[in-house]
Amino acid sequence: MRTNIFTRFSAVVCMLTAMAAAPSESSANNITINKANFPDDIFRQYVLNNCDADKNQSLSDQEIADVTTLFINNMDIADLTGIGYFSSLNLLACHENKLTALDVSKNTALTELDCGRNQLTALDLSHNTALKMLWCNVNQLTSLDLSHNTALTFLCCDYNQLTALDLSHNTALTELYCTYNRISGEAMDALIESLPVISDGSGFDGTFCVFGLDSQEQNVVTKSQVSAAIAKGWTVLTDSYGTYEGSDGSTFISSLSGDSRNLCAYDCWYDLQGRRLNVKPTSRGIYIRNGKKVILKD
């Protein structure tokens, strides 16, 4: 599912592996935890509190190696300069901050990256060849080059400004969420053509969530394009997780109010018939909220 796997963590954590042997003495290669190396005050304090095991205000080679997972979500961090020092990092969750740029070129061990809900206009992942799962939704990306990320199995790039998406190198991909972008016509043809073949069409194994039921949506997916995706083994869905049959090629127009459109980007409610609700329901019943079934009781 598209739902972020990291939101279940209520506290920001940093996994540090316990050392069997006594720590070695500081070497000349230690990274001082100062403003020059970690310019953002919030991120620097986080590193001091959670990654500096011996509290000497520097990072030893062993302390750096011990950091394999960072959850730094929703902390108002504006600059992640210094993240490159953590060369053993496998998982980085930095969603819902104030990032306008993100350099993970030195984090070559990354397999999972969640940088959604920031203000990124570009994202270079050419050095992250081990990456398997990527959330970069709710940013301002106009392009996304994934040609070096051949291990990718999951991609969520909803709510960006993409006009094209080439997945021809991502042959392991099985889940794609790209609603609320600007892909249509020949660019949509090319996207579907680039999808890997998952089955012969007899069984739907891939998830292709491509169309949002809101007037913000600028993707256009025709019936013939839906059929082409299905033939490659993909289930084509809307953002309410209902199956999508495709349009006649025209842009979807909704009469929803501006307030409800803004709400849908972060808090979408649907009834079981797939109809989006303008406000949170107050009557008891079963609803779909952000892709999950919710039961409201009196």
CATH number of the domain within which 84 lies:
3.80.10.10
The whole-chain average pLDDT of the chain stands at: 83
Amino acid 257: pLDDT: 34
- Check residue 255 and report its DSSP letter: -
Question: Closest by alpha carbon to 174, among 240, 235, 110, 241?
Answer: 235
Choose the final residue of a domain: 114, 141, 173. 114
Separation of alpha carbons 209 and 164, rounded Å: 15
One-character DSSP codes across 29-96: TPEE-STTT--SHHHHHHHHHHT-TT-SSEE-HHHHHHEEEEE--SS-----TTGGG-TT--EEE--S
Residue 63 in any domain: the answer is yes
d(CA 134, CA 116): 9
Please say whether the beta carbons of 86 and 65 come within 8 A. Answer: no
Average pLDDT over residues 77-91: 98
Q: Average pLDDT, stretch 153-180? A: 97
The CB density around residue 194, as the number of other CB atoms within 10 Å, is: 15
- pLDDT band, very low/low/confident/very high, at 115 (cuts 50, 70, 90): very high
Domain end residue (candidates: 74, 97, 114): 114
In a domain, 294, yes or no: yes
Higher pLDDT pick, 143 / 296: 143
Q: How far is CA 146 from CA 6, 124, 126, 134, 153, in A?
A: 22, 9, 7, 10, 12
Q: What is the mean pLDDT of residues 169-182?
A: 97
Assigned domain for 159 exists: no
CA 141/CA 159 separation, integer angstroms = 9
Give the best-scoring range by mean pLDDT among 155-159, 197-201, 284-288. Answer: 155-159
Looking at the domain assignment, is residue 96 inside a domain?
A: yes
Question: Residue 285's beta-bridge partner residues?
Answer: 296
Residue 275's domain spans which residues?
Answer: 262-298
Q: Among 114, 137, 153, where does a domain finish?
A: 114
Total domains present in the chain:
2
- pLDDT bracket for residue 20 (50, 70, 90): very low
- Determine what percent of the chain is predicted with pLDDT higher than 90: 69
- Per-residue model confidence (pLDDT) at position 205: 81
pLDDT at 11 > cutoff 80: no
Would you say residue 91 has pLDDT above 90? Answer: yes
Is 126 a member of any domain? no
Average pLDDT in the 30-40 region? 98
Residue 32 placed within a domain: yes
Range name among 126-135, 185-194, 247-256 with the lowest pLDDT average: 247-256
Res 283: pLDDT: 75
| Residue range 147-167: mean pLDDT, rounded | 98
In a domain, 256, yes or no: no
Is 192 inside any structural domain? no
